[in-house]
Chains A and B, each alone.
Chain A
């Protein structure tokens, strides 16, 4: 298990275990052949005859495999037949033994597992495109894997649970992800999964297992084995895991409970920031989310687990009075004044002063309980603001039907965060900058974005002004054109019209230009974070990839730039 799997050595291991049957077969043949050579035979005419090795080998060979045979070259005498009898049993039994043993070795699950791993590992070594390693195919892993493979990333998935591996095989994912059935905690398995790929093609490692210990192990070995790879680690339970990951330079740490509670607290202090974070950190929103306005006052938190604790802390920080309802106060140690109970019965909720409350958080780890809490609480106080924790993917329609104001889905949140960190790291940097600004500032940005989008949620993307991604831009720069941000905003077919998008951030080497003005001059290598309609991206792409359109949006003239067309049609188009 410990050494790196390689197919050749695996076969040698099997050969080693088959030594005994091999030797038994050789011995049976050798003894039988020697017997036939030694026993005197009789010719047709009665004269004595001695079989030689060649004929003995010939005879034993076909005797062992097919018992319907003749006696060659002369009919055998009694002694020879006696020996034949012995040889038949000796060779047939030894063959039988060897074959069953070989089949058992080959059918051994440990061996087939080993073979499979070495096959996948071989495929990984032969990869010639960048890839990500995803460790753990649980609820969160599923979403991450599906999304990343749908947008065209090559993935290597490390999962030790055979059940999950089977699910993964049947999942029918695009882009042929490679499934490595192994334990991500073991560094040698990570090596076999390609973490230090010889062409440096491993772009990043995503540790999204349900177990903190596994994620920590992956984060540590990933950073040690390949310092260049981006490592994203998920923290489920323990704060010290996050600290430990940080000390190993893990690039991004995802703690869904922490993130959600922090994000929710923004709704109190700065609804603009709340909305901005909501828009930019979700990759799977279809409809535009309306701003939420939870009121300050008495809040009830049902369940003092990982989410309950974070929510309690954040809500109190925002100046709310918080009552905790907890079924097992001896274990989770809620603050004094907490109510014992599950929160699913009216009696407990009344004890928690539901009539006076403005909001309730159903934060237990059981979906049925959470739904029951929300429905019961709504009956007792219809004006409540409800936050529900959805643990299972399947419960989503139920939470929607119960009229939950905000649903916390741990796995979706993890997936969204991971995807954002990997695909648009600029968003992450932008939000970091934006979150230090005043609420007033955020409101302005939100209204600016709202002005360009319709009923769909805003879409954000990064435009790279590089040779590969925007060839027309770099060409135009080479021809000496000055290109401003305003030019990129222009419609490629009618430059008087403006695309429905806003630039949020320009990254120029290590410098960040927050909310650049329209007359900002753009340079090769700039990366721009845009937010707006999905359609605007397509149009902008068509500009930066086409020399004529690029020339048109900058100068307003339809110049023919392609030298061949210039020769053929020298006249300038109107």
Chain B
């Protein structure tokens, strides 16, 4: 077993699970989507991105790309949240919550791709 691979898989998977946890729930209900979860998902996603730097295999490139997509989606979601609550001084409405959650669900998809690729690579390496 390789510690580096464990850490790598851990962060890739954690990015997906945290992200999924944030998205889970009624898409329009602000009470079901907590800011802490979004923050944790974003931080873990950033760390997962950094872990993927420098791998120049084709799979490595797609992994890095999918991770960057997840970051982008999550940052967009956080920006929407910040602009609405801080910039315009409003509380979260059903509409804004929906757009924040849907942006993060995009990130879930990207993270799923990451995990699937990671699993595929593991199986290929086994053989």
Contacts and interface: CB of A to CB of B under 8 A. Distances in A.
Contacts of A16: 53-55
Contact of A53 (B35, B46, B47, B50): B35
- Give chain B's interface secondary structure class: helix
A33 interface: yes
A275 to B, nearest CB: 62
B76 interface: no
A54 B51 contact: no
Interface in B26-82: 35-36, 38-39, 43, 46-47, 50-51, 53-56, 78, 81-82
Identify the interface centre among A9, A17, A22, A33: most chain B CB within 10 Å of its CB: A22
A54 B85 contact: yes
Contacts of A27: 47
A328 interface: no
A15 B39 contact: no
Given A34-B39, A37-B36, A52-B35, A26 B54 contact: no
A52 B47 contact: no
B54 A15 contact: yes
Interface string B86-127: 100000000000000000000000000000000000000000
B39 A13 contact: no
Contacts of A26: 43, 46-47, 50
Given A52-B85, A54-B82, A54-B85, A23 B47 contact: yes
A568 B86 CA distance: 83
- Give chain A's interface secondary structure class: helix
Contacts of B50: 19, 22-23, 26
Nearest to B7: A23
A52 B86 CA distance: 10
Interface residues of A, number: 21
Contacts of B56: 9, 12
Nearest to B50: A22
Nearest to A30: B43
Chain B's interface size range is 10 to 19
B91 to A, nearest CB: 12
A15 B86 contact: no
B54 A19 contact: yes
Contacts of B36: 34, 37
Contacts of B53: 12, 15-16, 18-19, 22
Contacts of A54: 81-82, 85-86
A19 B46 CA distance: 11
Given A33-B39, A37-B36, A23 B54 contact: no
Contacts of A15: 53-54
Contacts of A29: 43
Contacts of A18: 53
A24 to B, nearest CB: 10
Contacts of A17: 54
B89 to A, nearest CB: 12
Identify the interface centre among A12, A16, A53, A55: most chain B CB within 10 Å of its CB: A53
A26 B51 CA distance: 12
A22 B36 CA distance: 22
A54 to B, nearest CB: 4
A13 B47 CA distance: 17
A53 B51 CA distance: 25
Contacts of B54: 12-13, 15-17, 19
B20 to A, nearest CB: 19
Contacts of B82: 53-54
Interface string A1-44: 00000000100110111110011001101100110010000000
A23 B47 CA distance: 6
A137 B3 CA distance: 48
Contacts of A9: 56
A562 to B, nearest CB: 61
Nearest to B43: A30
Contacts of B35: 37, 52-53
A23 B43 contact: no
A231 B43 CA distance: 58
Identify the interface centre among B47, B50, B78, B81: most chain A CB within 10 Å of its CB: B50
10 contacts: A9-B56, A22-B50, A22-B53, A26-B47, A27-B47, A34-B36, A37-B39, A53-B38, A53-B82, A54-B81
Interface of A: 9, 12-13, 15-19, 22-23, 26-27, 29-30, 33-34, 37, 52-55
Interface of B: 35-36, 38-39, 43, 46-47, 50-51, 53-56, 78, 81-82, 85-86
Given A19-B54, A23-B47, A37-B36, 9 more contacts: A12-B53, A17-B54, A19-B53, A27-B47, A30-B39, A30-B43, A52-B86, A53-B35, A53-B82
Which 9 pairs across A and B sit closest by C-beta, in order of nearness? A16-B54, A30-B43, A15-B53, A22-B50, A54-B82, A54-B86, A16-B53, A26-B46, A12-B54
